[in-house]
């Protein structure tokens, strides 16, 4: 696995693709995320060139499909997916990611499960035709689903069940340490995964003194800031199962927003490196 920077997740606003790549590389990241529209804005060949010259790789693309929206919107997005999959995978990154709500006011658990299973099967078949994989993130905090009429998948075992039901061979989980922790997850759940079941990883920490059921999604901490989340154990378990993909900090930290881009990148990289080395991994 490799440390990866998603600039937006660290409140960094690079000028363009080249700037994003330079910032990520300067502070030790070995991968970087860019927006799906960035290659056309920056220039496809120019994007290829800056990645090749820097030795950086792309982490993943946000799936350009509204997976939870109405049928008309979903169908329209699905119709455009083959074009995106062909174009973006040609840039050397075949990973797509999205998050899934952990409840609904309209669909009960069983109906929502079948709805998502059907939608993910359609997505998976299209992406498979282009050699692509996709990871879906479950949302762990109880505070997200408590205001919704029906609960839905909000932990790793539930996501694995859905992946098994989809059965296209190219679906996995976007595993976020925050959502894993707030769902009540443990390291045995991670160790039980096959490496291909994990498509992408987020890391972060949680504030001290908050009961598990009271955590709020946008109130997080920098990796290793508090030690509430066992990031060394989490990363160690991923290493043990043979996960080889991106590990991206997503701290939602207000302090980063006040910093110049390179200072925010430096602080973020230092927090990731601390977790990395605490897990016995070579930075």
Task: Give the domain extent around 101.
Answer: 2-278
Residue 255 lies in a domain: yes
Residue 283 lies in a domain: no
Residue 28 lies in a domain: yes
Between vectors from CA 222 to CA 224 and to CA 145, what angle results, nearest 5°?
A: 110
CATH number at residue 170: 3.20.20.150
The model's pTM: 0.97
Q: Is 260 exposed, middle or buried (0-12, 13-18, 19+ CB in 10 A)?
A: exposed
Task: Domain count for the chain, please give it.
Answer: 1
Residue 146 lies in a domain: yes
| Positive or negative: CA dihedral 124, 127, 132, 137 | negative
The per-residue pLDDT string of the chain (283 residues; one tens digit each, 9 = 90 and over) reads 999 999 999 999 999 999 999 999 999 999 999 999 999 999 999 999 999 999 999 999 999 999 999 999 999 999 999 999 999 999 999 999 999 999 999 999 999 999 999 999 999 999 999 999 999 999 999 999 998 999 999 999 999 999 999 999 999 999 999 999 999 999 999 999 999 999 999 999 999 999 999 999 999 999 999 999 999 999 999 999 999 999 999 998 889 999 999 999 999 999 999 999 999 999 9
Residue 160 lies in a domain: yes
Residue 68 lies in a domain: yes
């Amino acid at each position: 696995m490799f440390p990866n920077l998603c600039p937006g997740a660290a409140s960094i606003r690079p000028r363009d693709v080249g700037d994003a790549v330079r910032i990520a590389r300067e502070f030790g990241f070995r991968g970087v995320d860019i927006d799906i529209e960035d290659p056309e804005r920056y220039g496809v060949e120019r994007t290829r060139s800056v990645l090749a010259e820097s030795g950086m790789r792309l982490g993943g693309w946000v799936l350009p499909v509204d997976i939870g929206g109405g049928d008309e919107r979903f169908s329209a997005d699905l119709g455009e997916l083959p074009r995106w999959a062909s174009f973006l995978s040609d840039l050397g990154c075949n990973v797509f990611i999205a998050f899934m709500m952990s409840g609904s006011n309209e669909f009960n658990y069983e109906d929502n499960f079948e709805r998502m299973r059907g939608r993910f099967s359609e997505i998976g078949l299209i992406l498979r035709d282009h050699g692509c994989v996709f990871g879906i993130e479950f949302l762990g905090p109880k505070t997200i689903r408590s205001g919704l009429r029906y609960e839905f998948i909000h932990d790793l075992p539930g996501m694995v069940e859905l992946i098994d039901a989809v059965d296209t061979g190219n679906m996995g989980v976007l595993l976020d340490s925050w959502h894993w922790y707030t769902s009540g997850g443990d390291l045995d759940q991670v160790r039980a995964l096959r490496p291909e079941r994990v498509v992408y990883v987020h890391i972060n920490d949680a504030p001290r003194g908050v009961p598990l059921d009271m955590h709020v999604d946008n109130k997080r901490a920098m990796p290793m800031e508090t030690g509430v989340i066992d990031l060394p154990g989490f990363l160690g378990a991923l290493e043990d199962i043979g996960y080889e993909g991106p590990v991206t900090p997503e701290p939602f930290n207000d302090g980063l927003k006040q910093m110049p881009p390179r200072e925010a990148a430096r602080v973020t990289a230092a927090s990731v490196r601390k977790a990395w080395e605490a897990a016995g991994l070579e930075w």
